[in-house]
Amino acid sequence: ESAIATEKGLAYYDPARDPYSPERLTLVSELRHALHNNELALWYQPKRCLKSNEIVGVEALIRWPGRQPAVHADQLIALAEQSGLIRPLTRWVMEQALAARNVLLEAGLDLTVSINISPNNLRERDFPLFVQRLMTSHHRHRGRLILEVTETSMMQDPANSMRTLRSLDYAGIPLAIDDFGSGYSSLSYIKQLPACEVKIDRSLITDLLTHTDDRIIVKTTIDMCHNLGYQVVAEGVEDEETIELLREMDCDMIQGYVLAKPQPLADLIGQLRAQDSQPPVPLNLR
Ligand code: C2E
Ligand code: MG
Ligand code: MG
Ligand code: MG
């Protein structure tokens, strides 16, 4: 293939990494088409409180059903960010998430719905105003739509992000810090954030049973977050033993394949209903 010179030496040309490659431009126009024609979907993954053992919320995750070969969420979001589509995409996600809240409420499930926000959204001047207006016209969902931002995304433009997050907080929008522990944020910055929830990154949870150092980091993070007034969610929990360990560590909530994989809303509601009608398991058999 064609080698190109970079500052660090020679690199091979990879069309997938070139924002202006024809393949990429085609993908972007396909994505634009999918967004405008309502062909994207949100799938939902539940979050459980470890004290009450109840499902307390769901996280909405973007999907592109039927697209072959599949374009994964991370890749889809990167494409949307590079092409300016992230602005309409996030607005679509928010509206879908509020509609999902209505469907959940009708099914008797008053769950919070969390959505993911891109760093680009935090740089949109009118973003807080858009969210405020949306919450005014959907006031029954006030305080129940949680916005997740990653610590890394805020560090790209700390001052501006802080200003945006403060005005969202002022408008009563709950914020969560996503993927905590995967980036390089400063603790002095984190402690100023108007967040209610910190989600510990899956990379720190995966080997919790076998890696003592991860256990120390997670326990210390949980204690620190509690001292700063944040609720803590462990991401990517895949087995019961890890749940027990997190419970001992006083973690507030968990999310992960152990509860459910992300799935269409109707399927998730079906699963939650089926679990609900199960006879309770005697405590000594849990
Ligand atoms: P995230 O917000 O940290 O979401 C958690 C990711 O971990 C999801 O991947 C989820 O499917 C996956 N996951 C959850 N539990 C487990 C587990 O037990 N094991 C394993 N191996 N994985 C688990 P997904 O859906 O591929 O999304 C990846 C990322 O893409 C998200 O990470 C988020 O940063 C971004 N994203 C997804 N949807 C949206 C969206 O609507 N807007 C924006 N801006 N970003 C989104
Ligand atoms: Mg998230
Ligand atoms: Mg995360
Ligand atoms: Mg992530």
How many angstroms is it from 149 CA to the middle of ligand 1? 12
Distance (angstroms) between ligand 2 centre and the Cα of 252 equals 16
Looking at per-residue pLDDT, the higher value among 194 and 11 belongs to 194
| pLDDT surpassing 60 at residue 284 | no
> Percentage of the chain surpassing pLDDT 90?
77
The best mutation among 61, 71, 182 to test binding of ligand 1, ranked by most ligand atoms within 8 Å of the C-beta, falls on 61
Q: Considering the chain, what is the average pLDDT of its residues?
A: 91
Which protein residues are within 6 Å of ligand 1, measured from CB? 45, 61-62, 72-74, 77, 93, 116-118, 148, 178-179, 202, 235-238, 255-257, 262
Per-residue DSSP letter, 263: B
Distance CA 135, CA 146 (A): 12
List, as ranges, residues with CB under 5 A of the ion ligand 2.
116, 148, 178
The preferred substitution site among 98, 116, 206 for testing ligand 1, maximizing ligand atoms within 8 Å of CB, is 116
Ligand 1 atom with the shortest distance to the CA of 74: 30
Q: Which of 44-53, 90-99, 154-163, 210-219 shows the lowest mean pLDDT across its residues?
A: 154-163
For residue 214, give the amino acid letter.
Answer: D
Looking at residue 27, its pLDDT comes to: 94
Give distance in angstroms: CA of 114 to centre of ligand 2.
Answer: 7
For 126-154, write each residue's pLDDT tens digit.
999 999 999 999 999 999 999 999 988 88
Q: Say if residues 209 and 249 touch (Cβ distance below 8 Å).
A: no
pLDDT digit string, tens, across residues 61-120: 999 999 999 999 999 999 999 999 999 999 999 999 999 999 999 999 999 999 999 999
Tell me, in angstroms, the distance from the centre of ligand 4 to residue 145's CA. Answer: 19
- What is the interface pTM, i.e. ipTM, of the complex? 0.98
- Report the pLDDT value the prediction gives residue 210, as an integer from 0 to 100: 97
Q: How far is the centre of ligand 3, averaged over its atoms, from the C-alpha of 202 (Å)?
A: 7
Closest residue (by CA) to atom 43 of ligand 1? 116
Mean pLDDT for the stretch of residues 30-38: 97
Compute the average pLDDT of residues 150-176.
89
Query: What gap in Å lies between CA 235 and CA 126, rounded to an integer?
Result: 31
Q: What is the structure's pLDDT at 10?
A: 62
**pLDDT at position 21:** 81
Give per-residue burial for 19-53: e unless 16+ CB within 10 Å, then b: eeeeebeebbeebbebbeeeebbbbbbbbbebeee
